[in-house]
Amino acid sequence: MSAAEPKERISFAGHTAVVSSVALTPDGKTLASGSYDTTIKLWDLATGKETATLRGHTAGVYSVGFAPDGKTLASASHDDTARLWDLASGKEIAALKHGYHVKRVVFTPDGKTLISGGEGPIKLWDVVTAKERTTLDLVMEKANANLVLSMAVTADGKVLCTGHGDGNLKLWDLTTAKEMTTIRTNDKPSERHVPSVAFTADGKTLACGIGYGAVKLWDVGTREEQHNIDAHRARVWGLAISPDGKMLASGAWDGTIKSWDLPTGKERASFRVHDNRVYALAFTSDGKTLVSGGGIQFKRGEVKLWDVAAILKSSGDK
């Protein structure tokens, strides 16, 4: 446990419902926050000032993500669409209709493809034309059994990981659009879902957060479990891995963030962040700041910035 809780650097307030997702431009200057209040807000990371509010979704926003060039933002919503936005103008470029709730969007590293998933098939979209390119062969065996709750792509753009409502992780070959393997994360019937996943920069390690509060680390090559961490007392909705691959941060619906030494799985720090729930985490590209999103589900949403050096100091690191 931490000796002293680190102080937040900046807090962004303005959403009227929980902040479900956060994303940073590659240059580290702009932060996007998506909320259940149906809006997306853009913030100047240095000053904490809101620069724009993007409106167009008619239901809660569950996921946001920037294209690698930082010029385009994608969002996913329970209004059955994913949307593309032009960052410079704040205007909507396209609404990608799904016919089911969309929970996650992620760009491939080359910026040419947007991947979306939720309560239906996983779709790959051409970013330039906004046309569906292909659909991954995800069989919806039972209602929400294969619900896509989380997604991550390796830095080389070759492998997609999806976390599902039935407790499975699936790895997909993005070159062939075929499933490579399925990994079962747990056997607890009531809390099987996998609401968060993240790859290390080298693509060799996969982290996932589990519905009952555990964090697990997997060797991608061997598919073997490396660590099974009893991390939180509630579902782990936020995961982020530092750019240097040494620190894993986890955020949960118990309102806490914990940081872990990635090679050993040992806890480095633990501190309370949001009044109710942590939904999203992200590191800045320089690894100096951790961003958290959360709040109280239908009352208030907030984004906070945390000094990573202070987090390490609070755990006794020099």
pLDDT, residue 140, reads 55
Contact 281, 238 (CB under 8 A): yes
Structure tokens at 179: 């499933």
Residue with tokens 């690894």: 287
CA distance 166 to 211: 10
pLDDT, residue 141, reads 55
CA distance 311 to 309: 5
**CATH code, domain with 74:** 2.130.10.10
Q: Looking at the domain assignment, is residue 42 inside a domain?
A: yes
**Higher per-residue confidence, 24 vs 212:** 24
**What are residue 44's DSSP bridge partners?**
30
Contact 154, 140 (CB under 8 A): no
Sign of CA dihedral 267, 171, 40, 212: negative
Q: Looking at the domain assignment, is residue 1 inside a domain?
A: no
Residue range 106-135: mean pLDDT, rounded: 96
Cβ neighbour number for residue 47 with a 10 Å cutoff: 9
Q: Looking at the domain assignment, is residue 210 inside a domain?
A: yes
Say if pTM beats, i.e. exceeds, 0.75.
yes
Q: Using the predicted structure, report yes or no on whether residue 162 has a pLDDT greater than 90.
A: yes
pLDDT, residue 317, reads 54
Q: Dump pLDDT digits (tens) for 239-297.
A: 999 999 999 999 999 999 999 999 999 999 998 887 779 999 999 999 999 999 998 77
pLDDT, residue 104, reads 98
What is the total count of domains within the chain? 1
Q: Looking at the domain assignment, is residue 160 inside a domain?
A: yes
pLDDT, residue 318, reads 41
Contacts of residue 239, defined as CB under 8 A and 6 or more positions apart, other chains included, come to 196, 197, 198, 207, 208, 209, 215, 248, 249, 250, 251, 281
Q: Looking at the domain assignment, is residue 164 inside a domain?
A: yes
Residue type, 215: V
Residue range 218-233: mean pLDDT, rounded: 93
Domain of 133? 8-314
pLDDT band (50, 70, 90) for residue 102: very high
Residue type, 119: E
